[in-house]
Amino acid sequence: MDSLASYFSMGGYAGYVWSAYAITAVVMVALALLTWRGLKGREQELKELQDIIPGRRGRSHDGVAEKG
Amino acid sequence: MHRFANPARFLRLASVIQPWTAAVTLLLIGAGLYFGLLVSPADYQQGETVRIMYVHVPAAWVAMAAYSCMAGASAVGLIWKHPLADLIAKSASPIGASFTFLCLVTGSLWGKPMWGTWWAWDARLTSMLILFFLYLGHMALLNAFDDPGRGMKAAAILALAGFVNVPVIKFSVDWWNTLHQPASVTRLGMPKIDPSMLLPLLLMGVGFTMFFVTVLLLRVRLEVLAAKIRAIRLTQIHGMPGADPSGEALG
Amino acid sequence: MSRLSEIIRRDLRLALRQGSDSVMVVTFFVLTVVLFPFGLGPETNLLERTSAGVLWVTALLASMLSLDRLFLADYEDGSLELLALTPTALELLVIGKVVAHWLTTGLPLMVAAPVLAVLLHMHADGFGTLLLTMLLGTPTLSLIGAMGAALVLGARRGGVLLSLLVLPLYVPVLILGVGAIDAAVQGLPADGLLLMLGGFLLGALPLAPWAAAAALRQALE
């Protein structure tokens, strides 16, 4: 346990080393997650739009009316 | 609709290779963390803080590579008017800005124990700070227009102008730094690279690059879909292209 | 060439008729520089040491003041579209605008700078170099600024955006300009730095109008 504690203390620089890794992890994970969620959101939106307008041609006017 | 012919092929291709790039990213970064945090020794001068290098330096690499990618895509978009290239340039800049930010923050966290100060006007950090502003300008210009197409074109010109300027900025900042280098601040030199340090550095470097590729693909897919949605909405508002303009589209 | 002088004369006439631009830019320059002794304290040594930097930073900001209107008036009243239809290349139009902008802002700044340098106790050896750096540097500012102004045409909050785009690109001019003055004050040769400043101007001379013209074409599409 002692070696583990000394490992995590990073020679007294724990605050710097671990916060550098933590902020990198947070930014990278947030970037990936936000992009992923944005993509899923757009996919959903596109699906809804195409459901409203079957074939996307001819009935676009109804689509507007339904959307209100 | 030929505008989307090529992006459609891209969408298919991207969704096929994406799981692989994601897997490789996880593998490389996992291995990089293992070697960087557990196997590699502490530097005899910088102690354990040297481990910050394994995130700081790869972040700097990706920050610069993303700008080159952005400028290259902008050139392709301007010269060949390839719609996908514009979207790649648009998608690259937020990722590049994030990594520039990471490079600055981790550099600061490395500087505090090494220099005794959070920020030093070190040549590399200063160049990175200016790169960060270039990214911010690019992103702001992209979103400053009501017509997203116009924003992308203007941002493409800016990206190229910035790219031409980067070597001049880098040179002048380096020169300025050697002139004003205060004697008390020891330079944050790269530690002499030992093979045990090179391995995690390279693993993380390639891992970060693969992360960039993965997220870039995701973002380009997102932008392609957004453009499609915008096109559909426009036809809803203005009526179908080629349809009777006096139609009751808005009625 | 006659087209070019025509464009320059037209812009100068407009600037003179409105009359305020040059006066406003110089007033801003003088006022802001005069603020520095209040912020830093009137100590002669400190002011002397910081004078080159203060003058150049303030000059950067002052030269940006009138930038956002460089193409905006012509863009909004439609004359830019008419000018684009004439056989004159847009690049030439941009160069004409840049020359007019420099004559109405860069040149007045250059005239005002030595007076302010006296107020900041700049060392006598720095004056000649100060004028030279201004002569070589301010046209570059106008060139890069014209590109920025063309890029933000039609953008929301164009004025603020313009400073975000242009200021990072101004950094080399600032560093080289201040460096040359400091070198001259310390009795070191400044020719190399002045040459680099000139080189930057020569590089910007073809590239910036080209990029600005491309941006104008995008804006007019």
Query: Tens of pLDDT along B69-79?
Result: 999 999 999 99
Contact C177, C63 (CB under 8 A): no
Domain-located, residue B18: yes
Q: What is the 3-state secondary structure (H, E, C) of chain B?
A: CHHHHHHHHHHHHHHHHHHHHHHHHHHHHHHHHHHHHHHCCCECCCEHHHHHHHHHHHHHHHHHHHHHHHHHHHHHHHHHCCHHHHHHHHHHHHHHHHHHHHHHHHHHHHHHHHHCCCCCCCHHHHHHHHHHHHHHHHHHHHCCCCCHHHHHHHHHHHHHHHHHHHHHHHHHHHHHHHHHCCCCCCCCCCCCCCHHHHHHHHHHHHHHHHHHHHHHHHHHHHHHHHHHHHHHHHHHHHCCCCCCCCCCCCC
What is the structure's pLDDT at C99? 92
Q: Using CA atoms, how far apart are residues B18 and B218, in angstroms rounded to an integer?
A: 8
Q: Do B176 and C182 meet the contact criterion of CB atoms below 8 Å apart? A: no
pLDDT above 70 coverage of chain A, percent? 74
pLDDT given at position C157: 84
What distance in Å separates the CA atoms of residue A32 and residue B99, rounded to the nearest whole number?
13
**Is residue B182's pLDDT more than 70?**
no
Token pair 């464009």 is found at: C7
Check residue C34 and give its pLDDT: 94
Sequence-distant (≥ 6) Cβ neighbours of residue C79 within 8 angstroms: none
Mean pLDDT of B8-27: 89
Of B189 and C132, the one with more pLDDT? C132
pLDDT at B3 over 60: no
Number of domains making up chain B: 1
Q: Look at residue B4 and tell me whether its pLDDT is greater than 80.
A: no
Q: Is residue B42 part of a domain?
A: yes
Return mean pLDDT, chain C: 89
**Residue C4 contacts residue C92 (beta carbons within 8 Å):** yes
Q: How confident is the model at residue B38 (pLDDT cuts 50, 70, 90)?
A: confident
Q: Which pLDDT score, from 0 to 100, does residue B1 have?
A: 39
pLDDT, average across residues C130-137: 94
Are residues B145 and B154 in contact, defined by beta-carbon separation less than 8 angstroms? yes
Q: How confident is the model at residue B28 (pLDDT cuts 50, 70, 90)?
A: very high
DSSP C67: G
The more confidently predicted of residues C200 and C13 is C200
User: What pLDDT score does B247 carry?
Assistant: 39
**Contact yes or no for B88/B159 (Cβ under 8 A):** no
pLDDT-derived band at B249, boundaries 50, 70, 90 = very low
Contact flag C171-B172 (C-beta cutoff 8 Å): yes
The span from the CA of B160 to the CA of C150, in Å, is: 15
Structure tokens at B18: 């994406």
Query: For chain A, what is the mean pLDDT?
Result: 77
* Best CA proximity match to B161, nearest among C66, C149, C175, C180: C149
Contact call for B218 and A23, based on CB within 8 A: no
d(CA B197, CA B201): 6
Angle, CA B226 vertex, CA B223 and CA B232 arms, to 5°: 145
Tokens 């459901």 correspond to A51
State whether residue C25 is helix, strand or coil: helix
B-to-C residue pairs, Cβ atoms closer than 8 angstroms:
79
Neighbouring chains to C with at least 3 Cβ pairs closer than 8 Å: B
Rounded average pLDDT over B3-22: 80
Answer yes or no: is pLDDT of B188 > 90.
Answer: no
* B80-114 pLDDT per residue, tens: 888 889 999 999 999 999 999 999 999 999 888 88
Average pLDDT over residues C158-166: 90
Among the listed ranges A13-17, B129-133, B177-181, C192-196, which one has the minimum average pLDDT value?
B177-181
* Residues of chain A contacting residue B228, judged by C-beta atoms under 8 Å apart: 46
Instruction: For residues A55 and C129, give the distance between their C-alpha atoms in angstroms, rounded to a whole number.
Output: 71
- For the cut 60, the answer to whether the pLDDT of residue B250 exceeds it is no
Which range of residues forms the domain containing residue B225?
2-180+196-236
C31, amino acid identity: L
pLDDT at residue B46, as a whole number: 73
* Backbone phi and psi for residue A21, each to the nearest 5 degrees, phi listed first: -65, -40
pLDDT for C201 equals 94
Owning domain of residue A13: 2-67
Asked if the C-beta of A6 comes within 8 angstroms of chain B's C-beta atoms, the answer is: no
Contact B144 C175 (CB under 8 A): no
**Which pLDDT score, from 0 to 100, does residue A67 have?**
39
* Residues in B touching C190 (Cβ below 8 Å): none
Structural contact between residues C90 and C213, judged by C-beta atoms closer than 8 angstroms: yes
Tell if the CB–CB gap between A35 and B222 is shorter than 8 Å: yes
CA distances for B227 relative to B219, B249, C207, angstroms: 12, 21, 32
Tell me whether residues C176 and B172 touch, CB distance under 8 A: yes
Angle at C94 between CA C90 and CA C97, to 5 degrees: 135
- Name the more confident of B192 and C127: C127
Question: With 60 as the cut, is the pLDDT of residue A62 above it?
Answer: no
Gap between the Cα atoms of C53 and C73, Å rounded:
33
| Each residue's pLDDT tens digit, A15-39 | 888 999 999 999 999 999 999 999 9
Q: Which of B210, B178, B199 is nearest to B65 (CA)?
A: B210
Residues of B in contact with A45 (CB under 8 A): 225, 229
Q: Average pLDDT over chain B, rounded to whole?
A: 84
Q: Which of B168, B169, B177, B181 to mutate to test binding with chain C, by most C CBs within 10 Å of its CB? A: B168
Q: Is the dihedral of CA C184, C186, C189, C195 positive or negative?
A: negative
Q: What is the 3-state secondary structure (H, E, C) of chain A?
A: CHHHHHHHHHHHCHHHHHHHHHHHHHHHHHHHHHHHHHHHHHHHHHHHHHHHCHHHCCCHHHHHHHHC
| Beta-bridge partner residues of B47 | B43
Q: Which of residues 19-38 of A touch B (CB under 8 A)?
A: 19-21, 23-24, 27-28, 31-32, 35-36, 38
pLDDT value for B93: 94
pTM: 0.87
B159-176 pLDDT, tens per residue? 999 999 888 888 888 888
Q: Does B242 touch chain A (CB under 8 A)?
A: no
